[in-house]
Structure 1
Amino acid sequence: MRFEQLRYLEAALRTGSFRQAAKELDISQPTITSQVQRLEEDLGVLLVTRGAKGVKPTYAAERILPHVEAAVQAERMLREEASAISGLQLGEVRLGTVPAGSQTLLPPVVHKLLTDYPSLRFEVDEGPSKMVVRGVLSGKFDVGIVTRLPGIELVAAENALLHHIDLLPGRLVLTVPEDHRLASVDRFTPEDLEGEPLIFPADSSILKVAFEKLLEGIEARIVYSSPNAESVQSMVRAGVGISMANTLVDSTASGNGIALVPLNFDWAQAHTSVIVRKDEARSSAVQAFLKLLRESAAAGR
């Protein structure tokens, strides 16, 4: 049994396809197929079933998969730590982040790390907080940057399995056209939104969860939905409807046809936070990234 065989098995089961796994690992499909077969022979169990829709794990594979994933992670960290002995000359940070993280925290931090360690590599996916949380929990990401709201969990296992570090504070606000009746008020009640045309964020966005919380007991009139914050604000500016936004996102600004209305609720206190899995050893590259993130956030407050 060799580490590469475990990598091949993990990739095949994660992608559901020998072809996709081979493409991801930059090897030939016959190689990955034969190596998984040799692993099955070595372990004495059938690990995958093959069908028209790809490969699926057997019962044996489901039982050993956590150990396979741990071994693959351990090998990657072993290689990174070996290279780190000579001064963090090689490493990778797999990162999932919300747009607010890309706009505020990441540019100076990534620039600093790549200046000091030009051989480092960042593999980044950007999307809503729920996607990032699930990616960190599954091991797809080493680190996540999310938007957190008090008392709101996006995934049931979030608090039990993840460690959160709040970095930058912000708030949720309503965004309304400048000539709207709510544009000049300091306070409003959810009932003020009854019958108003509303623009909703993406299904997996924490803003959607917050919007639904605000509208509990109110008959919502949703006229438009988009995962893109800037597109949403363009629709508000055009008078299509009212939306919700996070002040930590660059596109959330008053003027040019848009007014911001404060949400005076405890749960509307947003934070950009970094998340990692609890009780897990981290590579030197990830540790350096986390340290610089905290320092950069503290300096920017």
Structure 2
Amino acid sequence: MRYLEAAIRLGSLRKAAQEVGIGQPTLSQQIRRLEEDLNVVLLIRRANGVLPSAEARILLPHIRQVLQADRALREEAGLINGLRSGSVRLGAVTTASQILLPRVVPLYRNSFPNVRFSVWESGSQGVRDSVTNGELDLGLVVRANDPASDASLTATDLISDEVVLCVSRRHPLAGKSTVGIQDLAGQSWVVSAHGFALRELVDTAFAPPAQDIVYETTNPHTSLLMVAARVGIAMLPRHTLRDHCADEVVTPATDWEPPQLTVCMIRRSDTQPAPAVRKLIQALREVSADWSRDHPIVR
């Protein structure tokens, strides 16, 4: 099953064989034996790779659950003599990568050098989907307000930050004592790409017309550079301004309450985290608590 999951995820028997450390003929033979045992075709083999069959798509969530349980069992056994092996696959949005992971990753890797650790950065929706289908053990996603309930995931709030209006120091809005919603009409906007929680917040709260959006990006630091260059205005988490373009970008007072973005830790509800994952959860909670104490939100 491990061979099949790798082949489906990578779309290639050759890449799957390289990942699991066996020859491609052996891997292909083992997958064919699995197909014979289950009496279903699992892979659609093509000249340029493989695709999962309809039957494999139905079975894949169960296969990943079995593999995760097997990994957890092996790690629990290894924990008897200390955490000497294991693996953790973490997905994170940019905000989490900037605030939490520079402290969490070295702390974790120094504490558990034999654990295989990997991080994939993407938007909130991409990370959430990958946790749901079992490709990731944990996800750090950003949500605005309260997320829609999802019984398949367990979510834990870690840190929160205000989302503030950012304009160039030379922008006309920078000189206003208080900026109102009506002052945003006709302004050029720099926004996050679709699939990112910050974009959802901006679209919902401020609804900038499509013709006013002049720059879309996946990186908040790029947003700041564009704001500093007077390309447009932006709504960004306050932490983004620390140490970046501090002399070029200002956050004028507004007549609306700054919305908040919260970084949540998510995992699947139907499985217990393996020991290596539990240790990462502990590290994330500790670092998040320290950051929240150092950066309180003042109303």
Length-normalised TM-score, structure 1: 0.86
- Structure 2, unaligned runs of 5 or more: 294-299
Trace 1:59-78 onto structure 2 (pairs within 5 A): 59-78=54-73
In structure 2, what is the Cα distance between the partners aligned to 1:264 and 1:36? 62
Q: Is the 8 A contact 1:177 1:259 kept in 2?
A: yes
SS across alignment from 1:148: strand
SS across alignment from 1:276: strand
Trace 1:133-172 onto structure 2 (pairs within 5 A): 133-152=128-147, 159-172=150-163
In structure 2, what residue type is equivalent to 1:65? L
Out of 208, 233, 236, the residue aligned to residue 242 of structure 1 is 233
Q: Is the 8 A contact 2:42 2:56 kept in 1?
A: yes
In structure 2, what residue type is equivalent to 1:129? S
Worse-superposed segment, 227-236 or 44-53: 44-53
From the superposition, tell whether residues 159 and 43 of structure 1 become closer, same or farther in structure 2 (CA, over 3 Å).
closer
2:13 matched residue in structure 1: 18
SS across alignment from 1:183: helix
- Structure 1, unaligned runs of 5 or more: 1-5
Q: Deviations over 1:24-47 (max 9, x none)?
A: 334332222111111112223322
SS across alignment from 1:76: helix
In structure 1, what is the Cα distance between the partners aligned to 2:131 and 2:6? 17
2:124 matched residue in structure 1: 129
Deviation at 1:219, TM superposition (A): 6.2
Q: Deviations over 1:242-292 (max 9, x none)?
A: 112112446586731101246665682111221111132111111111122
In structure 2, what is the Cα distance between the partners aligned to 1:293 and 1:59? 38
Deviation at 1:94, TM superposition (A): 0.8
In structure 2, what is the Cα distance between the partners aligned to 1:20 and 1:263? 53
In structure 2, what residue type is equivalent to 1:96? G
**How large is the Cα RMSD of the aligned pairs?**
2.5
2:296 matched residue in structure 1: none
Is 2:184 the counterpart of 1:193? yes
Out of 273, 289, 293, the residue aligned to residue 280 of structure 2 is 289
Q: Is the 8 A contact 1:132 1:144 kept in 2?
A: yes
SS across alignment from 2:272: coil
SS across alignment from 1:42: helix
Q: Is the 8 A contact 1:201 1:207 kept in 2?
A: yes
Q: Deviations over 1:170-196 (max 9, x none)?
A: 111121111222224465343322221
Is 2:162 the counterpart of 1:174? no
SS across alignment from 2:182: helix
SS across alignment from 1:159: coil
In structure 2, what residue type is equivalent to 1:119? N
Q: Is the 8 A contact 2:131 2:137 kept in 1?
A: yes
SS across alignment from 1:34: helix
Q: Is the 8 A contact 2:224 2:245 kept in 1?
A: no
From the superposition, tell whether residues 183 and 54 of structure 1 become closer, same or farther in structure 2 (CA, over 3 Å).
same
1:32 matched residue in structure 2: 27
In structure 1, what is the Cα distance between the partners aligned to 2:184 and 2:28? 57
In structure 1, what is the Cα distance between the partners aligned to 2:263 and 2:44? 42
SS across alignment from 1:182: helix
Q: Is the 8 A contact 2:7 2:15 kept in 1?
A: yes
Q: Is the 8 A contact 1:177 1:238 kept in 2?
A: yes
In structure 2, what is the Cα distance between the partners aligned to 1:262 and 1:96? 34
In structure 2, what residue type is equivalent to 1:225? E
SS across alignment from 2:189: strand
In structure 2, what is the Cα distance between the partners aligned to 1:265 and 1:213? 14
1:83 matched residue in structure 2: 78
SS across alignment from 2:170: coil
Q: Is the 8 A contact 2:131 2:268 kept in 1?
A: yes
Is 2:199 the counterpart of 1:204? no
Out of 87, 95, 98, the residue aligned to residue 90 of structure 2 is 95
1:3 matched residue in structure 2: none
From the superposition, tell whether residues 17 and 243 of structure 1 become closer, same or farther in structure 2 (CA, over 3 Å).
same
In structure 1, what is the Cα distance between the partners aligned to 2:114 and 2:189? 47
Length-normalised TM-score, structure 2: 0.87
